[in-house]
Each structure stands twice: as C-alpha cells, then as structure tokens.
Structure 1
Amino acid sequence: MMCISQSTNRRPSFIASSRRDDVPLSARGWRDYIVPGVRVKLSGRPDRPSVAIRNKEDPMCVDNDSRPPIAPIAGGSAGSRDFRLTSADGTRFMAHAARAGKPTGAGMVVIPDVRGLHPYYKELADRFAEVGVDAVAIDFFARTAQSDDRSDSFDFMSQVPQTKPDALQADIAAAVAHLRSKDGGEARSIFSVGFCFGGALSYLQAASGLGYAGVIGFYGWPLGLSRWPDRPKPIDAVSRYKCGVLSLFGGADQGIPQTAVDEFDAACRKAGVKHDSTVYPGAPHSFFDRKQTEFAEASADAWRRVQAFVRQNTKG
C-alpha cells in the first residue's frame, strides 16, 4: 500500500498553526477551529499521539481490498449494474451505474483515483444511490489498457501517463449525459466526486461548462501534480468555475500541504467561488477507507458533509 499509517511515541503539539502534521490523528473529541479560509478540526486527545505518513505525491489511494467507510442501507437502491458508456470519439469504456430507490433529483459522477474503476468506486456509487442520488462511476483506461482487470495486477502507473485530458473529459461528459437520460434517472442536478487524481478532475468539472450543481474533491490535487506537469491544474481554472466546491483533505497528506489548501481556497474566494474546505488533522491521503478505522469519525464527518452539500445544491 502506498498510503500508510504508523504509530509513534512523539507527543504532538496542540498549538494552532498551519502545520497540520502537528496535530494528533485521533478523531475523538474534535472541536471546530478556524484558520484562514479553511475549517479544521482539532483533537482533544493528547493521550493518543500518532501520525500518519505517506510518500509525497504518491497518487494511489486504494488497496485491492479497500472499500468506502459507509454502511449499506437495505432497500435504498433500485439496483446497480456494470455496463459500458460511449464517449464522443466512439470509445466504449467501463462504467457502473446505481439507481436510487427514492431519487432526489441529484446525480453523481464518481471519478476514481489512478486505479480506474476499482470495486471501491462501484460500491461508492451504490452507497450514493441508497441515499437518493443516482450515480455512475467510470473508468479511465479503455483506450490504453488491454484488459478490464483493475486488481493489484493492473499496472496503472504505466497507463495514467497515456491518458489524455480531452479524452478523460469526454468520458466524464458521457457519464453526465447518462445521468440526465431516462435510463440514468433524469437527474436535475449533476455533481461530481473525485479522489486524488480524480479529485483534480472533479474540481475541473466546475469549469467544464457541463452545468454542474457542485463538485467534490477528496484529497484532490488543487495545484496539480509535479509528476504530471502537463495536466490541467484546478487552481488555474478557478476564474471559470460555475458552481460551488467541497474539498476534503487529510492533515498528514505530505503531497498536499496546508499551503496548497490555503492557496486554492484564496483563489476560490478571489473568484467569488463558494468553497467549503475541511482538513482532518493526522489523516493520511487516503483516509476515507473502511480499513482506516483510526479515521472512522473523520470519514463519518466527511460523508455527512458530502450529503449536506448535495442536498443544499439540488434543485427542488
């Protein structure tokens, strides 16, 4: 796994500062604390000092057995299926659609991390459907990969550089069109949620012209990745954003420092873009995972925020 946690006996500082790694990872006893442009939650548990670490700019988010930290709701979904969408250039690519049992009019495009249509993202689409949000999760690699396999044997790092921004955007647009179709639920309000690499793509949807009601990024790279400098950077497109943004970051994510979070938030505020940004102290890049039991409360809070953001921005 490329995103790991490790205990330490170092006693962390509880002094408010812009250094998020100075705050313990325990979610228990959190209280709201505000730093410029960012809502942060601080722990009140100095008896549980530990830190989470990961390699800087390590883009992988999920293991083969990673799953969303969300309990299923029996009867909430009207069903889900694996199928293929057709992009503007005729490419047929893997997708997973989930229909809400009691639709609210919201539709969600789930944009994965670099592993593509991993089971994690299929299950996340199912969880959205169970709370009334029709959803479709997509894959990135129909043009480059020789197989549909997205398990640990899939060499995603050789595939990602071969993807093209225009093609990725066309695939996302096909997912949006599906959600607006009768087969997809005729969603009135379209949202996107992305993780890591997909988080950056999700931010960029706000400037895509596709009429999103809101976009969500889980540890998305707001300033882009130095690993792939030719890719569009979310911060460069902020002046063209047409909807609100929800950002969720891990405080121990060495690849997305607090300075990057602050810079993105400042750019959004300058452009008049509503940006709700939350940092979870001590949480690593991939904290939103059922296996990351240390961050269960952080994950629960993040899921509540996602649902509230969707409710607030869905047309009646």
Structure 2
Amino acid sequence: MLKPEVDSLIPRVPFDRRTFIKATLGTGFAACVLPVSAQTIHTDSDGLEAGEISIKSGDTQVPAYRAQPKGKKHLPVILVVHEIFGVHEHIADVCRRFAKQGYLAIAPNLYVRQGDPTRFQSMQQLNDELVSKVPDSQVLADLDATFKWAGEHGGDVSKVGINGFCWGGRITWLYAEHNPRLKAAVAWYGRVAGDQTPETPANPIDRVSDLQVPVLGLYGRQDQSIPQDSLEQMKQAIAQGPQAGRGSRFVVYDDAGHAFFADYRPSYRQADAEDGWKRALEWFREHGVK
C-alpha cells in the first residue's frame, strides 16, 4: 500500500496526562481508555469560536461540540461523527483541526438519550449497556438536525461533508446513503457489514443502492474487527450501485490496525494517520466541500 512521505499536518503541543474525565462535552476521555498516551495531540483554539452548543432534534436538546473560524460566515461544513467513546477530547480536537482549515465543524453527542460513555470501565460494558441501545434511526435524525443547525448558524449547506471514526465510520456510510445533499464523506475504519439488531436493522452494504455521495474509506489491513473480504464485497456492491456512489475509494494501510488515527491510544500510527488526514482534506476539497 502507498506510504507517501508527508509533512505533519497536525500541530503538536504537550498533553497533560492528568486530564481525565470531565463533565464538559469535548474534554477528558472515557474511563476504559485511560491512561491516555503521551503522544496525544492538542490543537489550540486561537482564532476560533469553539465550545459546546445545543441542537434541537425532535423533543431533545442534543449537545454538540462546535469549532469554526472566528467571525466568518458562509462556511463549508463538516459533520464529525464520534467514535464509540462519544464526544471526548480527541473528537473536539478533530473539530478544531477542521476549523483551522476553514470549516464549521460540529460533533453532536449521538448518545445523549442513552447515557454517558465516559463512565464505563470496559469496552464490553460500554457496548452492552449503552452503544447497543442507540438506534440508527435516532442517530440519522440527529445528524439531520445538525445539518439544519449548521445552515442556520453560518454554514453553507451546499458545501457539507461528513467525517466519522470507528462506530462513527459506520454511521458515516449510513448517513451518506441517507442524505443525498451531502457532497462527500470520509469513513475511518467503519464497519460495512455485520450483525443486524432491532436498533441496527441494516448495515452500509445493505443500503448501497441509496448511496448518492462519494465516500473515502480509510482502513487498516491488520484490523481484526473489519474483515478485508467485507471491504471487497462493499467495493463490488458500490460498483453496481448509483453513479454518484461509484466515485468512492478505499485506502488500506498495510501495517495499521483499528483506530490508527486515535493519537491518544497505543493503536495510533503517525505516518498512516497523517496520510489519511491529508487524503481526507483533499477528498473534501475535490468534491466541493471547501
């Protein structure tokens, strides 16, 4: 697989290891991933408006982390879909990274009705007691509400992309199939096939016929949670689907596993993460999200 040499595109400053779980959205980390790595990236908010906002979705006020260039309007928009761990410090940092590139970036808390992912001590407990209870239909509706909020608060809804990681990578595929108003999507190690449940009745591969948005899929060949044959099946399904979706691409990093972009975890692979970030920015620019 390509291993291009790229300059670091992400600023680095020392991270305080004593920062753990906090009440404010976009700060701290989930208990089941502590301690965080010393390599954890922190992007400052200089020149940005950044912090928590509230988005009305149905009868619920959904908290979200928002970052954007200060004093700017008519901004291109990136919806940032959080990992299994929710909207924690890493996801807020990703929003600030996009904002530094000129975007209005918004990460809604898509677990708000089901609970707080920071309190669980193990991945199994987090999945069983919270994540498995989150309906896809609820998530897509909350993203629709976030899309609408962006258009009412300085965003240009003719220039909207979506970017998601892990759990959010799967959701990114589903939202690209759900909302044809998107311009482009980037799914980082998001599952495309798997078990179906009442809350997750279909996977991305089941809805390829609805894909009207080009998706860039970024994956690790060593990721044991996402079989390579499922990606091959997805590629074949896309090739037979709508014309717009056929512009999708997959990049597989040979030595990377799951969560290779997650700089706060041991799974982080700097070269692959930086290359993926560069490709994501280029993908959005190429497809009019700029």
TM-based fold match above 0.5: yes
Q: What amino acid is aligned across from residue 298 of structure 1 in structure 2?
A: D
Q: Which runs of 5+ in 2 are unaligned?
A: 6-29
Residue 224 of structure 1 contacts residue 231 of structure 1 at CA under 8 Å; is this kept in 2? no
List aligned pairs for 1:115-154, cutoff 5 A.
115-145=85-115, 150=118, 153=121
The equivalent position to 2:135 in structure 1, one of 139, 164, 167, is 164
Change (3 A) 1:144 1:68: farther
How far off is 1:233 after superposition?
Answer: 0.6
- Residues of 2 paired with 1:270 and 1:299: CA distance? 30
Name the CA shift for 1:267/1:293 in 2 (closer, same or farther; >3 Å).
closer
Tell me by how many angstroms 1:255 deviates.
1.5
Q: 1:149 to 1:283 in 2, by over 3 A?
A: closer
SS in 2 for 1:297: helix
Q: Secondary structure at the residue paired with 2:84?
A: coil
List per-residue Cα deviations over 1:147-190 (Å, max 9, x = no partner): x5635559532011221221111111111112212x24334311
Structure-1-length-normalised TM-score: 0.72
> Quick one: higher RCO (CA 8 Å, sep 6+), 1 or 2?
1
Matches within 5 A, 1:248-263: 248-263=218-233
Q: Give TM-score scaled by structure 2 length.
A: 0.78
> Which residue of 179, 197, 211 maps to 1:209?
179
Per-residue deviation, residues 241-288 of structure 1 (Å, max 9, x unmatched): 111010000110011121111111111122132111100112111110
Name the SS for the 2:272 alignment partner. Answer: helix
Q: Which of structures 1 and 2 has the bigger CA Rg? A: 1
2:276 counterpart (302, 307, 310): 302
Structure 2 residue 3 is the aligned partner of structure 1 residue 30: yes
Question: Which residue in 1 is equivalent to 2:21?
Answer: none
**Superposed CA offset, 1:59-103 (max 9, x none):** x9x93536997673774x42111122111x211122101113567
TM-superposed deviation, 1:30: 3.1
Q: If each structure's strand is expressed as a fraction of its own residues, which one has the higher value?
A: 1
Partners of 1:249 and 1:228 lie apart in 2 by 27
Go from structure 1 to structure 2 and tell me whether the alpha carbon gap of 1:229 and 1:138 turns closer, same or farther (over 3 Å shift): closer
- 1: distance between equivalents of 2:39 and 2:215? 21
Change (3 A) 1:259 1:293: closer
1:124-157 per-position Cα deviation (integer Å, ceiling 9, x unaligned): 1111101111110011222222xx5635559532
User: 5+ unaligned residues in a row in structure 1: which ranges?
Assistant: 1-22, 24-28, 33-59
Q: Tell me the residue number matched to 1:174.
A: 145
Residues of 2 paired with 1:68 and 1:110: CA distance?
Answer: 22
Q: Give aligned-pair identity as a percent.
A: 23
Richer in helix (by share)? 2
Larger mean Cα displacement after TM superposition, 150-159 or 107-116: 150-159
